[in-house]
Structure 1
Amino acid sequence: MAENGDVKLHIAMLPWLAFGHLIPFLELAKLMASKGHNISFISTPRNIDRLPKIPQTLTQFINFIKINLPEVENLPENAESTRDLPANKVPYLKIACDGLRKPMVDFLNNTSLDWIICDFATYWLGPIAAEHGVRTAYFSIYPALFLGFYGSPETAMHGDADRETLEEFIKLPKWVSFESEVRPSLFQLTRVRNNKLTVGVQNVKDSYRLGATIRACDAVIVRSILDFEPDWLNLLKELYQKPVIPVGLLPTTVNHDDNDNASWLETKQWLDKHEKGSVVYIAFGTETKPSQYELTQLALRCVPEIYLTWGGEGRGGKMVFQRST
């Protein structure tokens, strides 16, 4: 992002209001701060207060900026992330997020920035930043394969006549020139579609938000590595005609303290009972709540014994399955 490695940048970051997005954005902020760049990490007060603490060595480089969500009809009070809402209320959170235009304009008017790294939801931010002479980058927490299935920004925004159904969407797209057996599953797409409800003309589709964000930005950052999906990352460069930068998988770097974290202590005690290399770790995501059927199927099909944890902040859970046959 700078030709001279000694140049230190001021970078603002505006993630979507979900902890599955906030946490990777924070990890990227910590990575850039460790290189000496100054970061303005922007979110709502309640979300910022719930973020993990950053290392003391980085506090001088990361400034947390709190902006308030506007009030939106049907959005519960104090709901500032998807964690605070049932799935059918999330569209109202996106409408509230669209109300952050003015606070972001005020921020740009009063801050000297080099870049803004944004998420898919704030599709309106690119043109605003350009008016202020600030470059933007879209940071995808999803792998390049996910983006590749959406195609070019225009295809993501307006759709593809050849893919009207979910069954058609999971087929390898016509713009993919290489062979690949890896693709989204029908189960995943059905679940995502079932969680999206239309709430009126203000509710902009996620695919449109994604395409418009990518079209307006100067670069795309992907949470991936070339060794993992080189063909898909190269495809994105062709589709977007702009730099595509893999920044690694960005695993969470929170340090667990056995004396302060009872949940981690319980997990550690369970792990210590097992031989090295005998445990399979399955990540459901920050806010996923598996159904009883899904948990049972994992217990029956994966391994003889499985320790499952999911969610957080009082909304998650844990369970141990033991299979005798």
Structure 2
Amino acid sequence: MEAAAGGGGMEVVVFPWLAFGHMIPFLELSKRLAARGHAVTFVSTPRNLARLPPVPPHLSARLRFVSLPLPRVDGLPEGAESTADVPAEKIELVKKAMDGLAAPLAAFLADEAASGRRPDWIIHDFCHHWVPPIAEEHKVPCAAFMIVQAAFVAILGPRWANAEHPRVTTEDFNVPPGWIPSPSIIAYRRRSEAEFMAAMFRVNASGVSDFERVWDMFERCRLVIYRSCEEVDPGMFSLLSDLYRRPAVPAGVLLPPVIAAAHDGRDEVLRWLDEQPPRSVIYVALGSEAPLTLKNLHELALGLELADVRFIWALRKPAGLFDASGNADGRGVLPDGFEERTRGRGMVLTGWVPQVAALVHRATGAFLTHCGWGSTVESFAFGLPLVMLPFVLDQPLVARAMEEKGIGVEVAREDDGSFDRDGIAAAVRRVMVEDQGKVLTNNAGKLRDVLADKARQERYVDELVECLRRYRHDGCQVVQVPRVLQIGSQ
């Protein structure tokens, strides 16, 4: 995997969006590039870099971290540097602050050039529409890295496709767009989901709509990298290459290292799991950025109680919700008496939880998730069936895809996105108690076995490196999709 086998190392700058669901897969990609002998510079803000997990010592010589100070923006809390630090309604202010990193990035590239370290590539995220123009001034090509499900990028569509097939009403997002071949499930089921997508056309507090960011970014990058593979998204990369007129390159699912469930007895989560029967516990985690209301939390809690199964709930603090209620740790937002009534068969944890170790533990039998792509990918590694409670962006599309693959059950929802305790309990029991759960577990295990082919997953990264070598000297014109991208699509 060293660069000597491939003709010398490259200098690569990676620059993720200021959300940990983005920074972590960018870091996983960075580690794989560094392991192949390439010099990688990971760019973010000081507080975000301080919160990243440590890098293995053998990679530290080839993976450095550069911090750019985040400008102050009116309305952002002091010290807020990621989407996890703010409520959902202020995320657009994080985008505005991030746009202020343009000048520091230009200064960094100028310093790199002066020191003889001009990058071969900048790999950036979805909203960095201002990065390619700066990179072009320094003669550095750009690639986008999309850490969402590939189907979400397909439903967004490029500028030309949206012009030919305009979506005028919210209902237009409830059916597959005209540029996706029929039949297709790539559409939003509920009005609440479609409304969120329609809002992406509107200019927000950053001064730019999300669609404009994506379109500008796609039109000026040379290729697009996806956290996926043909085994998960068969045929999707050929479609995306044709649609966006740029090579769509799968990097594999970039699974994090599997942390063994062995421990020294001090971690209460793993100690508690050790005492439970095999596959008897459902692990519950909705991320730190799900737009949860107090009513949502109550219905979820009471649904877990009604389901009468063992559970671990990683109750991460939704920014703004707990602060508003005056509860710094979040426990006060749970229904009165809930923890007492479920003591012995359930745990609610508001601090750090060793999620990977909990998911791989023999006692864990299912995962109740918001269907963020990162969490879903983690579930693939352990063959866990899913209870799915999606909210926004690609999450509803992920839920539909996992339902089609027969590895998940979605919680019943109203058209406005609301759900109740009965829907939670019914979905949990279908997966954990009823016969359907055995079928779901079997299907999830088959997918796990396919993705356990580490050599195949590593080849995706090798093929990505080859594409980076091939296209770094080309201009920004439309390029032909390489044959290597067609592997597995026959």
TM-score, structure 2 as length reference: 0.57
Q: Check 1:299–1:6 CA distance in 2 against 1; reply closer, same or farther (3 A cut).
A: farther
Aligned residues of 2:80 and 2:86 also touching (Cα < 8 A): yes
Q: What is the aligned partner in structure 1 of residue 154 from structure 2?
A: 148
Q: Check 1:288–1:139 CA distance in 2 against 1; reply closer, same or farther (3 A cut).
A: same
Q: What is the aligned partner in structure 2 of residue 39 from structure 1?
A: 40
Report the aligned-residue RMSD.
3.5
- How many angstroms apart in 2 are the aligned matches of 1:60 and 1:93? 31
Work out which of the residue numbers 215, 219, 223 in structure 2 matches 1:215.
219
Q: Deviations over 1:9-33 (max 9, x none)?
A: 1100111111111111111111111
Moved more, 265-274 or 48-57: 265-274
Structural mapping, 1:108-257, within 5 Å: 108-111=109-112, 112-155=118-161, 160-161=165-166, 163-186=167-190, 187-190=192-195, 200=205, 202-253=206-257, 255=259
Corresponding residue SS for 1:11? strand
**Equivalent position amino acid for 1:311 in 2:** R
**Equivalent position amino acid for 1:13 in 2:** V
- How many angstroms apart in 1 are the aligned matches of 2:59 and 2:178? 45
Q: Check 1:305–1:57 CA distance in 2 against 1; reply closer, same or farther (3 A cut).
A: same
Superposition deviation, residue 138 in structure 1: 0.5
Structural mapping, 1:24-35, within 5 Å: 24-35=25-36
- How many angstroms apart in 1 are the aligned matches of 2:306 and 2:135? 49
- How many angstroms apart in 1 are the aligned matches of 2:107 and 2:220? 20
The answer as to 2:66 corresponding to 1:62 is no
The count of aligned residue pairs is 318
- How many angstroms apart in 2 are the aligned matches of 1:53 and 1:229? 31
Q: What is the aligned partner in structure 2 of residue 285 from structure 1?
A: 287
- Gaps spanning 5+ residues in structure 1: where? none
Q: What is the aligned partner in structure 1 of residue 99 from structure 2?
A: 98
- How many angstroms apart in 1 are the aligned matches of 2:18 and 2:348? 28
Q: What is the aligned partner in structure 1 of residue 300 from structure 2?
A: 295
Q: Check 1:242–1:191 CA distance in 2 against 1; reply closer, same or farther (3 A cut).
A: closer
Identity value in percent:
35
**Equivalent position amino acid for 1:319 in 2:** V
- How many angstroms apart in 1 are the aligned matches of 2:272 and 2:287? 21
- How many angstroms apart in 2 are the aligned matches of 1:29 and 1:316? 34
**Equivalent position amino acid for 1:140 in 2:** M
Aligned residues of 2:315 and 2:348 also touching (Cα < 8 A): no
Which of the pair has more CA radius of gyration?
2
TM-score, structure 1 as length reference: 0.84
- How many angstroms apart in 2 are the aligned matches of 1:238 and 1:272? 50
- How many angstroms apart in 2 are the aligned matches of 1:301 and 1:251? 34
- How many angstroms apart in 2 are the aligned matches of 1:266 and 1:159? 56
Moved more, 69-78 or 18-27: 69-78
Aligned residues of 2:12 and 2:119 also touching (Cα < 8 A): yes
Q: What is the aligned partner in structure 1 of residue 310 from structure 2?
A: 305
- Gaps spanning 5+ residues in structure 2: where? 113-117, 319-327, 332-346, 350-423, 434-490
The answer as to 2:348 corresponding to 1:319 is yes
Aligned residues of 2:280 and 2:310 also touching (Cα < 8 A): no
Superposition deviation, residue 316 in structure 1: 7.6
- How many angstroms apart in 2 are the aligned matches of 1:143 and 1:213? 18
Query: Whose helix proportion is higher, 1 or 2?
Result: 2
Q: What is the aligned partner in structure 1 of residue 6 from structure 2?
A: 5
